[in-house]
Amino acid sequence: MKRLRSVVLLFLLLPFAFFLSPSSLAERGDATEARLAVFDDVWETIRDRYYDSSFHGVDWEAARGKFRPLAARARTTAELYGVLRRMLGHLRDPHTRVFAPDEKFDWRRPRFIGVGLSVREVGGLPVVVSVERGSEAERAGLRAGDVVAAVDDEPALELFARRLKEQAASSDTASTRFQVMARLFEGPQGSTVGVRWVGSDGRERTTRLRREWRERDSSLRVRRVRGGEIGVVQFDIFTEEVAGALVRALDQELRGVRGLVVDLRYNGGGETEAMTEVASAFLPAGRSLGRFTDRMGRLQFEPHTRAALLFAPDRIKTFRGPVIILTSERTSSAAEIFVAALKEAGRATTIGQSTCGCVLAIRRRHVLPDGGELTVSEMDYETAAGARLEGAGLVPDELIALDRQDLRARRDRAFERAVERLEPQRP
């Protein structure tokens, strides 16, 4: 078995996009040449390392001719990276991304700029699905189930349609629609955005919310329900720490549970080694978790489940009870591989919404001339059974769509259904 320690399978579907404050790209020398050096490095790295030599049907030479003049005319770092993101958008690949010098993105402690609420498309409308406790949004009266009517006085549906059109190269897929809706309030850190919404009483209200840095929770959350008979675990990223905590929780806090709910609805991926260790808690050692291949179709990496943690002394005890996994459009990358592995082995039932279909592999980050970074999808992936997940995702065994009434009532029907299926049948 080949082992490639540096593979990271990560597509964090953050509620809001990263944005930069305007700054000069070069304090000395020719600023235009400096911008073009960054552009050329990005373009050439994709040309040389991208996993698909056909670039998803994109004429990569033509893309250079179209976007290079725009990069030369960019006045700020923000404008330059905006051009680069538009060019990369044509690849229809959320893993291949650029990060400007001052974004300082750490996948183990992912940060994002947000306004304290998340929005999803529910019944064709932009609906608030969660509001951060103690946030400006909560104090202003925004609640789950409310409908966003306008953003900075632009009707929300028109803004959504415009941004979808701007990303036409990425196609109007469910994943693209989800990503665009999630970025409805995008903007520079520290700026404010006007929000007009309709509450449960039908009244329209308005407020202004400040965009601030926020950090996602990367820890493992564990609890027991139904008198302790059913265990629940939730984690939003695969890390060595999460893998170790899960193995220990199954032997300690969750010992004796008759069934387990694994909530991956907010999991955006992580490291393959960590995902392998988590999968090893549910599957016998030595089972293939799929294959990663390069642009020539050559096998580069094939992870297998194991009997012990790689970076801790703990042995892995296999959990043998029934497992139900909760999924959504935010379930992506390594999380999708984990779900597919358990489903192919007949070890789990899935409930919720279809997954992202965002499964490619990044070996390492490429540092750009200005200190920015580029991540490139260098490997494709197929499951052990030969299924390709990129662009397809996984359809749950039981589909449960979001509902505004449930959101308002804070009712989680997917979780309720999972617990119901795990409960012992009463005579």
User: For residues 93 and 57, is the Cβ–Cβ distance under 8 A?
Assistant: no
pLDDT > 70: what percent of the chain?
89
- In the predicted structure, residue 28 carries a pLDDT above the cut 70: no
For residue 29, the model assigns a pLDDT of 43
Q: Which of 181, 168, 170, 173 is nearest to 122 (CA)?
A: 181
For the ranges 98-107, 211-220, 361-370, the one whose mean pLDDT is highest: 361-370
Distance CA 286, CA 300 (A): 18
Q: Looking at residues 38-65, what average pLDDT do you find?
A: 94
- In the predicted structure, residue 10 carries a pLDDT above the cut 60: no
* H or E segment to which residue 48 belongs: helix 31-49
284: helix, coil or strand?
Answer: coil
246: helix, coil or strand?
Answer: helix
Q: Looking at residues 93-108, what average pLDDT do you find?
A: 78
Q: What torsion, rounded to 10 degrees, do the Cα atoms 364, 105, 269, 380 define?
A: -30
Q: Looking at residues 283-298, what average pLDDT do you find?
A: 94
pLDDT tens digits along 292-333: 999 999 999 899 999 888 777 778 889 999 999 999 999 999
pLDDT tens digits along 157-203: 999 988 877 664 445 567 778 878 888 898 888 899 999 999 999 99
With bands split at pLDDT 50, 70 and 90, how would you rate the model's confidence at 44? very high
- In the predicted structure, residue 279 carries a pLDDT above the cut 90: yes
Lowest mean pLDDT among 17-31, 169-183, 197-211, 237-251: 17-31
Report residue 361: phi and psi, to 5°.
-120, 140
> Where do we find the tokens 């170790």?
244
> Where do we find the tokens 């008979």?
229
Lowest mean pLDDT among 131-145, 245-259, 306-320: 306-320
Q: Looking at residues 222-230, what average pLDDT do you find?
A: 94
With bands split at pLDDT 50, 70 and 90, how would you rate the model's confidence at 23? very low
Q: Looking at residues 137-161, what average pLDDT do you find?
A: 95
Q: Looking at residues 259-281, what average pLDDT do you find?
A: 94
Distance CA 166, CA 83 (A): 12
For residue 109, the model assigns a pLDDT of 67
For residue 92, the model assigns a pLDDT of 81
Lowest mean pLDDT among 30-39, 107-116, 347-356, 396-405: 107-116
Sorted by where each starts, the structural domains of the chain and their CATH numbers stand as 19-99 (3.30.750), 111-215 (2.30.42.10), 221-422 (3.90.226.10)
**Model's pTM, two decimal places?**
0.84
Q: Which of 332, 242, 237, 235 is nearest to 13 (CA)?
A: 332
pLDDT tens digits along 354-405: 999 888 888 888 999 999 999 999 999 999 999 999 888 999 999 999 999 9
For residue 206, the model assigns a pLDDT of 96
For residue 14, the model assigns a pLDDT of 38
Q: Which of 363, 357, 387, 390 is nearest to 377 (CA)?
A: 363
173: helix, coil or strand?
Answer: coil
Tell me the longest C-alpha to C-alpha distance in the chain: 81
